[in-house]
Amino acid sequence: MKGMTIFDSFSLAWRTVRSNKLRTGITVAIIAFGIMALIGIITAIEAMNQSLKESFSSMGANAFNIRFKDSRVRFGNNSDLKKTTRGKKEKKSNLDKPIQREEAEYFRDNFHFPSALVSIYRRGPGGQEINYRDKKTNPQIVVWGGDENYLAVTGYTIEAGRNLNALDQQSGRNVCLIGSNVAKTLFGNSPEKSIDKIIRVGGLPYRVIGLLKSKGSSAMLRQDDVVVTTYTNIRHFQNVSKSYLVGVMVSNVNELEPASGVATSVFRSVRKLQPIEEDNFVIEKSDKFAEMFIGFLSSITGSAGAIGLITLIGAAIGLMNIMLVAVNERTKEVGLIKAIGGKSKNVRQQFLFESMIISILGAIFGIILGVLVGNLFGLVLKTGFLVPWAWVIAGVVICSVVGLVAGIYPAMKAARLNPIVALRYE
């Protein structure tokens, strides 16, 4: 019988919610927009996270690079000499020296790991404008100097033309491969026509020998806005990185750790580091960059939570106000329920059920809208359809709590009504 009473209270609450369509609709909309803001932003962030991971893994999930790490910040003259405490000068170790070409090449020749591919490369100037006849790109192109293994290690593939070869490397001649964005800007709908054309990079003429397949670009990673030449040629430019980079690709992800261990050992000997000296180079895997960007995005998640919470607090106040108005409107109804044997508990249950039904309806509509809005970013970033299940469950729980809290006071007020006074209420 007790279960029947709860069912009756719920049924009556549902009929009341359905009969007050305008009031219910406005309250559901307020809650839905709060949840939509929360779920929408978080779905969009998850899409961005996935896009970033895919973008960085395109460097090669089974690759890592070795870069120079400056062990201290210097001011004034950057001298190769340092003063001792006695005022004398002595030659310091190469602890603070960038990675030289000879060191990178020595590592390549002495790093023996099964099926590993080693590439030497160097970052050239950024913000370059590339010209072909009367057409030019935006000044946002980055020039890289690599070798014949550079494309494989960094995850690029050739769509047309050929790769850099040993002769290009040795001669340092002006040849290059161009990214898909560069080709589209200069050669329109026929980017393959770029092969063997002479373009101008930083005012210097370069023959295009290869067209790179698109890796997909985002606001943070413009991977198709590149020009790749040899690392022997890139010295012709100004503002070239002083330090060389070494990329290593192994056959599968499981070999990353042992390969990076061997690489550390070999590179320490290349750098002539003493056993007591710490590494003056860093081994970076592609997912480290992704984690760094994802860390930035996580702070946005906190902001999204705050926005959703503020909206839901407003919705809770609005819902409580509406329920209090409902108590006043239905005073006579409450008196009738009590007069025919209904207990205070039944009245309390009915009003709590009403409040929670409205909140959960708001949660359902908000979640559906939020997932759809968030996945619009997924369409733009070309990621799959995402549903942040943890936040969906959290949204339902939060809305249930909102409904419970907003309904407790009105329900208790309704339950305390005197049935005789209530029946006489006009």
CA distances (Å), 421 to each of 107, 247, 335, in order?
93, 84, 8
The candidate with the shortest Cα–Cα distance to 399, out of 355, 369, 368, is 355
Lowest-confidence region among 28-42, 143-157, 207-221, 292-306 = 292-306
Residues 199, 260: one domain?
yes
pLDDT of residue 160: 94
Mean pLDDT of the chain: 81
* pTM of this structure: 0.56
pLDDT at 165 over 50: yes
Residues 275, 297: one domain?
no
The candidate with the shortest Cα–Cα distance to 323, out of 401, 410, 399, is 410
Lowest-confidence region among 20-24, 103-107, 270-274, 304-308 = 304-308
Question: Looking at the 3D structure of the chain, how many domains does it have?
Answer: 2
pLDDT at 382 over 80: no
Q: Are 266 and 113 a contacting pair, CB within 8 Å? A: no
Residues 126, 274: one domain?
yes
* CA 389, chain centre distance (Å): 18
Residues 335, 367: one domain?
yes
pLDDT of residue 174: 96
Task: Report yes or no on 1 lying in a domain.
Answer: no
For residue 228, the SS3 value is: strand
Lowest-confidence region among 152-161, 174-183, 417-426 = 417-426
Residues 155, 202: one domain?
yes
Task: Report yes or no on 91 lying in a domain.
Answer: no
DSSP of 340-398 = TT--HHHHHHHHHHHHHHHHHHHHHHHHHHHHHHHHHHHHHHT------HHHHHHHHHH
Kindly give, in sequence order, each residue whose CB lies less than 8 Å from that of residue 160, ignoring residues fewer than 6 positions away: 191, 192, 194, 195, 210, 211
Residues β-bridged to residue 146: 230
C-beta contacts of 3-6 below 8 A and 24+ residues apart? 5/346, 5/349, 6/349
Residues 324, 216: one domain?
no
Task: Report yes or no on 173 lying in a domain.
Answer: yes
pLDDT of residue 221: 63
Q: Are 41 and 307 a contacting pair, CB within 8 Å? A: yes
Mean pLDDT on 273-293: 76
Residues 271, 321: one domain?
no
Task: Report yes or no on 67 lying in a domain.
Answer: no
Residues 265, 316: one domain?
no
Last residue of a domain, one of 223, 256, 279: 279
Mean pLDDT on 305-316: 77
What is the DSSP secondary structure assignment for residue 97, as one 8-state letter? P
Lowest-confidence region among 10-14, 250-254, 277-281, 364-368 = 250-254
Q: Which residue has the higher pLDDT, 136 or 287?
A: 136
Task: Report yes or no on 76 lying in a domain.
Answer: no
* pLDDT tens for each residue of 86-125: 443 334 445 568 999 999 999 999 999 988 999 999 999 9
pLDDT at 53 over 90: no
CA distances (Å), 375 to each of 295, 299, 305, 327, in order?
21, 20, 18, 41
Last residue of a domain, one of 279, 302, 329: 279
Residues 303, 369: one domain?
yes
Residues 318, 400: one domain?
yes
Residues 29, 146: one domain?
no
Task: Report yes or no on 90 lying in a domain.
Answer: no
pLDDT at 178 over 60: yes
Task: Report yes or no on 128 lying in a domain.
Answer: yes
Mean pLDDT on 234-250: 91
Under the banding of pLDDT at 50, 70 and 90, the label for residue 139 is very high
| 177: containing domain | 98-279
Residues 254, 324: one domain?
no
pLDDT of residue 23: 81
Task: Report yes or no on 12 lying in a domain.
Answer: yes
Last residue of a domain, one of 223, 257, 279: 279
